[in-house]
Amino acid sequence: MLNRAIYAMIFLGSSLMVYNIYGYIRYARDIQKKKDWGRERTVLYLPIFLLVMFLLGYLVVGVFGKPDLIVSGILFGGSVYVCIMYHFLRRVTNRIRENEQMEARLMAAEASNKVKSSFLSSMSHEMRTPMNAIIGLDAIALQDESLSPTTRGRLEKISVSAQHLLSLINDVLDMSQIESNQLAIRQQEFSLSQMLELVNVLTQSQCDDSGLEYRQEVIGDIGGTYIGDPERIKQVLLCILENAVEYTPAPGTVFFTTERAPCQDDRCILRFTIRDTGIGIDESFLPRLFDSFAREDASTTSRYGGSGLGMAITKQLLDRMKGMIAVSSRKGEGSEFVVTIPLEVVKPPEAAAAEETAPPASGLDGKRVLIVEDIELNAEIVADLLELEGVESERAENGQAALDRFRECPPGYYDAILMDLRMPVMDGLEATRSIRALERPDAKAIPIIALTANTLEEDVQHSLEAGMQAHMPKPVDADQLYAVLDKLIRK
């Protein structure tokens, strides 16, 4: 019985050793195919040689010798161990290959993202440049008091359509930045009251145009100055408010309430509640409300339009700001959105209130601004907008011309510079660095503002790093342009 067991181990061990030799030969060939393992491949022939010698040992012992339990046990155990090591090496090699493939895919994705970012930056510039002319010329034309009611109505419709197209462009660019993880949330001081005032002005105008009643309320003391990203917070609120206006038929009402929870260690939670008496949302659709391109039904798309990205972007922005959004709605009865955002208070309410009630500055009348713009039509639009506020302007067609003009004029001749980024001869970033490097008293103090169709976050960072104090997108928002110029010139 014992002899049978011994010879069984020798027979099984020999078969297993043949399998091991075959497996190692296949493994060596697979490694050779990779070609990038270098001299390490030759090492694989050594274990194959040893395994062949091991097999010969089996045959010698099994045919010519008298094997005992110890010898056969050692041989059989060695065969099992070699088989285990073979499969272990296979797994290690497969894991290495998977990691290499993942690394290659990651590098390809990063390269693709760089190409995508470059493409989006270029397309943003190309799309915004004609939009700047359309919106700017339309705004200037509407200032003409001699317009007939029919012409004024048509111009207003052009403005609405252009703004809608611009919002679609912004949504596509924002979603692309979110998907590529390039959308950054800034941390800066801002006045909550001033931001809410702008939100209310824009929403009130939309409600007036749509025949709706707009009710806004601030509950309690909301403080003054916070640290956060005012542009992104405003974007979130305006997106929800615009939807409330769009999906509320006249006569209806849109409610906007702001309140602040008790602060802890200078951290406060601001709560914004937006409610309307509109068409409402079916409860079965609420779980998909924040999905990209989500639509409740086909009739909503055909009737109200839109990109279907607004609420998805809103949710992503709130997640990045560590905020939350809750929605409740019933079909035909309206909707309610509650947005909560944690922010840090940087000034006591009294100090902020005193600052916000300070007397306004004298204005822009009589100031002189240098417009650096390679496209003549865009320069004319900005010059006309500045002229409406009594601002004198001169134009330089590229960065080199702007540098030469600034160098030749006396100190203090210009009160500010509006700088495009993409220009021939010398771009706006290089021109700004060159102006800042000049040895004259106003070179480092004069406000330089990027006025450009390059609107990605990396474009903003490049502008600030070059020495600009602000970055404004095209198409030009006249009120925002006046406000930024007034603030920086006074400063």
CATH architecture type of domain 368-490 = 3-Layer(aba) Sandwich (3.40)
Q: What is the mean pLDDT of residues 235-241?
A: 92
Q: What is the mean pLDDT of residues 285-306?
A: 64
**Whether residue 232 has pLDDT greater than 70:** yes
Both structure tokens of 423 = 């220009």
CATH of domain 190-356: 3.30.565.10
More confident position, 111 or 406 = 406
Both structure tokens of 222 = 């909301």
Percent of the chain past pLDDT 70, that is, above it, reads 84
Percent of the chain past pLDDT 90, that is, above it, reads 31
Q: Give the chain's length.
A: 491
| Spatial distance between the Cα atoms of 476 and 381, rounded to a whole number of angstroms | 9
Helices within 40-68 (DSSP H only): 45-59
Look up residue 43 and give its DSSP letter: G
pLDDT at position 354, please?
A: 46
Query: Angle CA(155)–CA(160)–CA(161) in degrees, nearest 5?
Result: 95
Both structure tokens of 48 = 């194959």
pLDDT at position 324, please?
A: 94
pLDDT tens digits for range 331-377: 888 999 999 999 988 855 444 444 444 444 447 889 999 999 998 98
One DSSP character per residue, 399-422 reads HHHHHHHHHHSPTTS-SEEEE-SS
Both structure tokens of 480 = 């925002």
Burial class (CB in 10 A: 0-12, 13-18, 19+), 406: buried
**Whether residue 213 has pLDDT greater than 60:** yes
Q: Which element (helix H / strand E) includes 289?
A: none
Q: What is the mean pLDDT of residues 62-75?
A: 67
Look up residue 186 and give its DSSP letter: P
Q: What is the mean pLDDT of residues 435-445?
A: 92
pLDDT at position 174, please?
A: 74
pLDDT at position 349, please?
A: 47
Q: 458: closest CA among 256, 215, 147, 186? A: 186
pLDDT at position 353, please?
A: 47
Query: Residue 251: is the preceding peptide bond cis (ω within 30°)?
Result: yes
Q: How many CB atoms lie within 10 A of CB 410?
A: 8
**Whether residue 247 has pLDDT greater than 80:** yes
**Whether residue 225 has pLDDT greater than 80:** yes
pTM equals 0.56
pLDDT at position 45, please?
A: 66
Least confident of 258-267, 372-381, 403-412: 258-267
Q: How many CB atoms lie within 10 A of CB 387?
A: 12
Model confidence band, residue 485 (pLDDT cutoffs 50, 70, 90): very high
**Whether residue 277 has pLDDT greater than 60:** yes
Give yes or no for a contact between 124 and 453, defined as CB atoms under 8 angstroms apart.
yes
Q: What are phi and psi of 111, to 5 degrees?
A: -65, -40
Q: What is the mean pLDDT of residues 167-191?
A: 75
Q: What does the CA dihedral 268, 270, 271, 274 come to, rounded to 10 degrees?
A: 180
Burial class (CB in 10 A: 0-12, 13-18, 19+), 233: buried
Amino acid residing at 476: V
Model confidence band, residue 408 (pLDDT cutoffs 50, 70, 90): very high
Q: Please enumerate in sequence order all residues whose Cβ is within 8 A of that of 23, keeping only pairs 6 or more positions apart, or say none.
A: 83, 86
Top-confidence range, 286-300, 384-398, 447-461? 384-398
Q: Please enumerate in sequence order all residues whose Cβ is within 8 A of that of 157, keeping only pairs 6 or more positions apart, or say none.
A: none
Top-confidence range, 217-221, 366-370, 478-482? 366-370
| Spatial distance between the Cα atoms of 143 and 361, rounded to a whole number of angstroms | 24
